[in-house]
Amino acid sequence: MALSRKFTRSERDVKAMSKDTNAPWRDEELLREKYIDERKSPDEMTDDFNCSRTTLYKWLNEYGLVEELDELKDRPWRDADRLRELYVEKEMSVFEAADELGCSGSAVQRNLKKHGIETREVGGFAADAPHKQKEKLRELYVEQGLSSWELADELGVSQKTVLDQLRKNDIEVRKSNRETPPTYYTRQNGYEYVMSAGEAVFVHQLVAIANGADPYKVLGDLTHVTHHKIPIPWLNTPDNIELVTQSEHRQHHGNQYTD
């Protein structure tokens, strides 16, 4: 009984085939189609291509396809077919797909764009699931307490879109200090400070607290002063900052009004 050719190759056959530039296992597009897109196993591919596993893996690794597939398995939100299945076929919203894939909405949004998958609305909200949208917004913004900035990052949209959707769904928008990040300034005399929600605190005071000083003595107790050992106002390194009493401070500076 005659055996099929793939089981009767001579050593000369194998060497000849390895040099064949038209061999299917050397075709990058074909390998990608079978290995990445169709998810065929190496055994199935060796049967299809009539080659050895060693030869197959040589060319899969040559084109980086083994590593690419491993990355897709670890990061399924980068897989175009998986995204298309969830977002297009199952009509999930961006954040529903993100929940399913274990990533942020911004990651889903980026990869939808990368793979040319058209979103249903600007911002990725599912037009046919407003009740799910409202529930998700309420869960993240009200129950979990995310700020509008954090929510925008989670859903892969702009902060303005988040605020518009909160108001559209009758969810009261909080007046939170987290909505505006702190701002750093330097005074004309060189002292550095941070302004947030209308309140200012000097950087050297924050350094003193970070070093373990009592925050009340630093910020609320008039009997103590945060002092620069080397009198350079912007030299706010931990070793140059100490908390001293008012009397100790006067001994350092006499009647000068400086720290």
**pLDDT confidence bin for 156, thresholds 50/70/90:** low
Whether residue 158 is found in the same domain as residue 200: no
Whether residue 190 is found in the same domain as residue 246: yes
Query: Which structural domain range is residue 160 located in?
Result: 130-174
Question: Which pLDDT value is given to residue 121?
Answer: 56
Question: Which pLDDT value is given to residue 223?
Answer: 81
Q: Is residue 237 part of a domain?
A: yes
pLDDT per residue as tens digits for the range 57-79: 888 888 888 776 666 666 778 78
Question: Which pLDDT value is given to residue 210?
Answer: 93
**pLDDT confidence bin for 122, thresholds 50/70/90:** very low
Q: Is the pLDDT of residue 193 over 80?
A: yes
Q: Is residue 248 part of a domain?
A: yes
Question: Taking residues 161-177, what's their average pLDDT?
Answer: 79
Q: Is residue 244 part of a domain?
A: yes
Residues facing residue 34 across a β-bridge: none
Whether residue 169 is found in the same domain as residue 194: no
Q: Is residue 235 part of a domain?
A: yes
Q: Where a domain ends, among 119, 144, 174?
A: 174
Average pLDDT, the chain: 76
Alpha-carbon distance 16 to 14, whole Å? 5
Token output for 124: 């990725």
Question: Taking residues 20-35, what's their average pLDDT?
Answer: 80
Whether residue 152 is found in the same domain as residue 189: no
Question: Which pLDDT value is given to residue 10?
Answer: 45
Q: Is residue 230 part of a domain?
A: yes
Whether residue 158 is found in the same domain as residue 192: no
Domain count, the chain: 3
Q: Is residue 152 part of a domain?
A: yes
pLDDT per residue as tens digits for the range 194-216: 877 657 788 999 999 999 999 88
Whether residue 249 is found in the same domain as residue 207: yes
